[in-house]
Amino acid sequence: MAEQSGNVVLSLEDVHTYYGSIHALKGVSLEVREGEIVTLIGANGAGKSTTLRSINGLNHPREGAIRFQGREITKDPAHAIVKSGIAQSPEGRRLFPRMSVLENLEMGAFQREDRTTFKEDVDRVFELFPRLAERRNQKAGTMSGGEQQMCAIGRALMARPKLLLLDEPSMGLAPIFVEKIFEIVREINAQGTPILLVEQNALMALDAASRGYVLETGRIALEGPAKDLRENEQVRKTYLGEG
Amino acid sequence: MKLPTRMRGSGPDAHPGEDTGGWVPAGVRESWQQLPEPVRRLALPLALVALAFFYPKYAESLPGAFPGVGTLVIMIVYTMMAVGLNIVVGYAGLLDLGYVAFYAAGAYTAAWFASLQFEQVSFHFGSVGISQEAVGIHISVWLILLIAGAFTAIAGILIGLPTLRLRGDYLAIVTLGFGEIIPQFVRNGDNIFGFDLTHGTFGISPIDSPGFGTTLEDAIGVPASFQQSFDRAQWFYWAALALLLVTVFCSVRLRDSRLGRAWIAIREDETAAAAMGIPLMRTKTWAYAIGAFFGGIAGAYYATFKSGAFPSDFFFNFSVFLLCMVILGGMGSVWGVVLGGLVLSYLDQEGLAKLGNSVSEVIGRQIDVPKYNFGVYGLIIVLMMLFRPTGLIPERRRKKELAEGVHDESLYDASA
């Protein structure tokens, strides 16, 4: 595995997570470094979303350790984790459907103590997603899937995250929107936010990411630079639908 | 700001949010629109408050269907409880079927600290209308309202901490349980290792009255003790009205606060709210505590008005009755709940009986309508659900919720 520059922002060490008695993650270890887009790909039920839920405190691991900026956050409650700087755009977007776009963005900034720069950040989100600016007073639930995904990413950015978790941002979107979303994901990353990207669309994800992990039934099956994974025969067969 | 267009006035300037009907002369409408915005916004509430304030002065000249002042006191106290319950159910979306427990806690706080119950001691602090030699604890009723609020809020937190980890139906079942436990406890609390805490099924009576004390009575003529005053109902009414206004004010301010926004976020999507960094437990517990606070004050006030706290008042059906008020008025809508509360409590106290009398007169047979009260409320709720599911005065946001269907599935519990 190629050694990347930059400090480790997030690390998972041998994480085991359960849903009741179901052993969903069977020892996952991974890292996200400063400036990186890291992608986690895998089939349905491989444990991609569970990995994110373990990180953001919605489903605490039973064993293993999660460190964020050198500090252990394994058992921290969800709101404390958001406060320490991990924001996410959850699977299925989960906007507050009866709140307006602006109100949704407001909720994204909920844990921030410094509220003076709120306006500034809204402007930044609207700059990234001009479409949202047009719809700022529209109820989030009435927008198209692509617009909702934009709103969900924008909402996560409102927390001024030091690490952004994206769960299936391309799910259910028209191809043109998928392109658009990935473009913006790259741009957010270029502005300095490391990203952990969970995707089923392995092709797009590996194109955008610098490194990747392949998850199979709760274990990391493969890992390496995105370029190498892209060339890997097994990955091509299973996830890229080639050969 | 763009408001939803709901214009009835035809002119292009007609203010969209305002109900200036076509029957208002154009001149009047124009001069109305030239008034500053706060005046227009506050005109209706202020007019209603003024109308309510002078009610005792003109009540006697009203037709018989209007409630008496004494009935109004009860109506207002019930409405206050409904507004408190609305914080829990309407704002935060936590179905509470045991709200009566908070009413009981408030009533018994008043009964403990303003009656002859604890005859082992004699403690007086600012009480009015009772002899200084009387045994028991006698604290000024105004102060007791606050104590009751605080005590009930703490009870709310204690009940909330274990139960609020549950969601939806499970929460409803557990609150239902607590709503039964507290009256049972009160009923059997007359011999706790030999100590008489609640006086069992007899309840605690009499309870001291609120009042302004003899000094103020001599100085400006306000009654020293409401209970002993000639216009007892009227003074109880004004104080109740003041309490309701404070409750409504707090309720509106809370809704627009950061905490209020967090409640609505939890109601809309609990998992997403957790992902935004909203501490679920703390936020829900606040809803419980604040809802309980107002329920406690209302309960304590009602106890001093009735001059007694009796376990037979705290049955499960009262929780349901309050919930009906919230649903009838419109969950989450403060003004709706006030209206729903007044309507249902009026029916409960006088309306059904009066209706029964008129029906009996018409058909020439005696029908005891109040006996079927819960049937009538049930019918009202069913009809509401069919024809106006968002309530009499719907909350803006909630209206959308029902129109578009609620998605409330959550795969796994968020623990926070």
Render pLDDT for B109-133 as a digit per residue (tens, 0 to 9): 999 999 988 888 888 888 887 888 8
**pLDDT higher than threshold 50 for residue A165:** yes
Asked if A90's CB is within 8 angstroms of B277's CB, the reply is: no
On whether residue A159 sits in a domain, the answer given is: no
B12 band by pLDDT with thresholds 50, 70 and 90: very low
The secondary structure of A70-134 as a DSSP string is TEE-TT--HHHHHHHTEEEE-TT----TTSBHHHHHHHHTTT-S--TTHHHHHHHHHHH-HHHHH
Q: Report percent pLDDT > 70 for chain A.
A: 97
Residues B134-163, mean pLDDT to the nearest whole number: 93
Q: Mean pLDDT check: name the lowest of A152-156, A209-213, B137-141, B166-170.
A: B166-170
pLDDT greater than 90 at residue B406:
no
What is each CA distance from B282 to A183, B244, B279, in whole angstroms?
38, 26, 6
For the stretch B149-204, pLDDT in tens is 999 999 999 988 888 888 878 989 999 998 889 889 999 988 888 888 888 889 99
Q: Which amino acid type is present at position B113?
A: F
pLDDT at B308: 93
Rounded mean pLDDT, A10-34: 95
Q: Within an 8 Å CB–CB cutoff, is residue A49 touching chain B?
A: no
- H helices of B87-165, where? 100-113, 141-163
Half-sphere exposure of A179 (CA within 13 A, CB side): 3
- pLDDT at position B292 over 60: yes
The residue of chain B with its CA nearest to that of A91 is B272
Q: Tens digit of pLDDT for each residue in A176-208?
A: 889 999 999 999 999 999 999 999 889 899 999
Evaluate if residue B84 carries a pLDDT over 90. Answer: yes
Residue B338 main-chain phi, psi, to 5 deg: -60, -45
Closest-CA residue in chain A for B273?
A107
Cα nearest neighbour of B279 on chain A: A79
The pLDDT tens digits for A51-66 are 999 999 999 999 999 9
- Spatial distance between the Cα atoms of A233 and A229, rounded to a whole number of angstroms: 8
| H or E element that contains A37 | strand A37-42
pLDDT of amino acid B399: 58
Q: CA B89, CA A191: separation in Å to the nearest integer?
A: 43
State whether residue A173 is helix, strand or coil: coil
Q: What CATH number did the domain enclosing A70 receive? A: 3.40.50.300
Residue B115 near residue B136, CB atoms below 8 Å: yes
Q: Where are the beta strands (DSSP E) in B37-84?
A: none
Task: Name the CA radius of gyration of chain A, rounded.
Answer: 17
Residue B245 token pair = 């206004």
Q: Nearest by CB to B272, from A57, A94, A137: name it.
A: A94
In this prediction, residues A85-101 reach a mean pLDDT of 92
Chain B residue with Cα closest to A153:
B276
pLDDT score for A243: 56
Residues of A in contact with B412 (CB under 8 A): 19, 53, 58-59
Helices B258-268 and B232-255: crossing angle, nearest 10°?
Answer: 70
Average pLDDT over residues A84-89: 94
Q: Name the pLDDT band for B278 (thresholds 50, 70, 90).
A: very high
In this prediction, residue B35 carries a pLDDT of 82
- pLDDT tens digits, residue range A114-156? 778 888 999 999 999 999 999 999 999 999 999 999 999 999 9
Q: What are residue A67's phi and psi, to 5 degrees?
A: -120, 135
Count the domains in chain A. 1
Please tell me the predicted confidence (pLDDT) of residue B1: 37
CA distance B231 to B225: 11
Structural contact between residues A13 and A29, judged by C-beta atoms closer than 8 angstroms:
yes
| Position A14 confidence tier, pLDDT thresholds 50, 70, 90 | very high
Burial tier of B209 (Cβ tally within 10 Å: 0-12, 13-18, 19+): buried
Residue B337 confidence (pLDDT)? 97
A90 in B contact zone (CB under 8 Å)? yes
Q: With a CB-CB cutoff of 8 Å, which residues 102-161 of chain A face chain B?
A: 103, 106-108, 110-111, 137, 139, 141-142, 155, 159
Q: What is the pLDDT of residue B413?
A: 38
CB contact under 8 A, A94 and B271: yes
List the single range of B20-29, B239-248, B386-395 with lowest mean pLDDT. Answer: B20-29
Q: Which pair of tokens denotes residue B256?
A: 């627009």
Tell me how far apart the alpha carbons of residues A196 and A89 are, in angstroms, rounded to a whole number.
11
Looking at chain B, the whole-number percentage of residues with pLDDT higher than 70 is 90
Are the C-beta atoms of A58 and B275 separated by less than 8 Å?
Answer: yes
Q: Tell me what the mean pLDDT of segment B381-404 comes to.
A: 78
In A, residues 189-228, which contact B (CB 8 Å cutoff)?
none
What local confidence, expressed as pLDDT, does residue B402 receive?
52
Is A195 within 8 Å of A34 (Cβ atoms)?
no
Which positions ≥6 away from A155 have C-beta within 8 Å? A89, A95, A104, A105, A107, A108, B276
Asked whether B331 and B396 are in contact (CB, 8 A), the reply is no
Lowest mean pLDDT among A214-223, B20-29, B128-137, B314-323: B20-29
Min Cα–Cα distance to chain B from A212, Å = 24
Is A91 near chain B, with CB under 8 Å?
A: no
Q: In what order do the strands lie in the sheet with A37-42?
A: A86-89, A163-167, A195-199, A37-42, A211-216, A219-225
Residue B348's pLDDT band (boundaries 50, 70, 90)? very high
Q: Is the pLDDT of residue A220 over 60?
A: yes
Structure confidence at residue B398 (pLDDT): 59
Output the pTM of the full model: 0.85
Task: Find, among B150, B197, B191, B156, the residue nearest to B175 by Cα.
Answer: B156
CB of A57 within 8 Å of a chain B CB? The answer is: yes
Average pLDDT, chain B: 86
Nearest to B275 among A78, A83, A106 (CB): A78
Distance in angstroms (rounded) separating the CA atoms of residues A93 and A197: 14
Residue that has been written with the tokens 């609620």 in this structure: B406
Q: Given this model, what pLDDT does residue A81 score?
A: 95
Closest CA to A94 of B396, B395, B278, B169: B278
Mean pLDDT, residues B271-294: 94
Sheet with A63-68, strands from edge to edge, namely: A22-33, A8-19, A63-68, A71-72
- pLDDT single digits (tens) B91-111: 999 999 999 999 999 999 999
Return the number of CB contacts < 8 Å for A and B.
92
Helix (H, G, I), strand (E, B) or coil at A233: helix
- A146 belongs to a structural domain: no
Q: Residue B25: is the preceding peptide bond cis (ω within 30°)?
A: no
DSSP string, B198-265: S-GGG-B--BPPP--HHHHHHHH---S-TTTSTTHHHHHHHHHHHHHHHHHHHHHHHHTSHHHHHHHH
Question: Mean pLDDT over residues B319-331, rounded?
Answer: 94
Query: What is the pLDDT, as a whole number, of residue B22?
Result: 58
Q: Which of A43, A44, A27, A31 is nearest to A4 (CA)?
A: A31
A95 near B CB under 8 A = yes
